[in-house]
Amino acid sequence: MSDPCIICVAITGSVAGKADNPAVPISIEEQVESTHEAFEAGASIAHCHVRDDAGRPSSDPERFARLKEGIERHCPGMVIQLSTGGRSGAGRERGGMLPLAPDMASLSVGSNNFPTRVYENPPDLVDWLASEMRAYKVKPEIEAFDLSHIVQAARMARDGRIEGPLYVQFVMGVKNAMPLDEPIFDFYIETLKRFAPDAMWCAAGVGAAQITVNEWAIAKGGHTRTGLEDNVRLDRATLAPSNAALVKRAVELCDKHARPVATWRQAREMLGLRMPEGVA
């Protein structure tokens, strides 16, 4: 039997809002409800951002704490991954939620272009975020927007700045960053295997690239991410009605390619994460 596929749901992000799709969850209550539906549909990781009262991106640790508590209560066992992304704050503010000791957190190890700005990840900030993750026993998910990010993550694992084995996410479809391209995708897999043979990988596609990247990742033996953060549509003419609908689409692809969908227990075992106390 093929290895189980871990499905991550990126529930909100920092860009999409109600004007783009009314189903995008903004408040903590909406986020918890949407995550629960996605969990029931087959997602075992929740990738989380928070917004302020006006719906703007935030890195407020108190809001992250409320979201984490709500997901733990309503989605017992689900892996909680908090975002340290740069749209929500500047400098060390981006890591202010790490003392909450989530299971995982995103970590970008290099800079790259975004649609209208440079996504800045200077080496000193990257090293500080990595050290905070080590201190609070948070497993990083490396966000690879560029080939150099894979090489840098492997270097950081070798010298102890990141505790291995690595979990690397290939991101495709961001304007001005890495486009949707299958030969490049295959080269990413090959490069990761060469530089970090014990690493695991997943992949995310942005916008219309989401479904294609989901299928590539599932078919090629990796794990995948879906959700309204990355894409608000089922197709050009149809808005996604929920995060759960996008998760169900990934589950269907797992069925197509004979990949069982990982339970939260299997996801935690594969990622080397602690089992939560008091969860049956």
Q: What is the mean pLDDT of residues 86-102?
A: 89
Give CA torsion, residues 25, 27, 28, 34, to 10 deg. Answer: -20
- Show the domains of the chain with their CATH numbers: 7-271 (3.20.20.70)
* 83 CA to centre of own chain: 8
Tokens of 138: 């948070």
Across 171-195, average pLDDT: 97
Q: Is the pLDDT of residue 232 over 80?
A: yes
The pLDDT value given to residue 1? 55
- To the nearest whole number, what is the mean pLDDT of the chain? 96
What mean pLDDT comes out for the span 150-157? Answer: 98
User: Residues 40-50: pLDDT tens digits?
Assistant: 999 999 999 99
Across the chain, the runs of DSSP E, i.e. the strands, are: 7-10, 45-48, 50-51, 57-58, 79-82, 104-107, 112-113, 118-119, 139-144, 167-172, 200-205, 223-226, 233-235, 238-239
Q: Is residue 91's pLDDT more than 90? A: no
Q: How far is Cα 16 from Cα 137, in angstroms, rounded to an integer?
A: 31
pLDDT of residue 90: 78
Q: How does strand 45-48 pair with strand 233-235?
A: unpaired
Q: Residue 158: is its pLDDT beyond 90? A: yes
Q: Which amino acid is at 12?
A: T
Residue 190 amino acid letter: E
Distance CA 57, CA 22 (A): 17
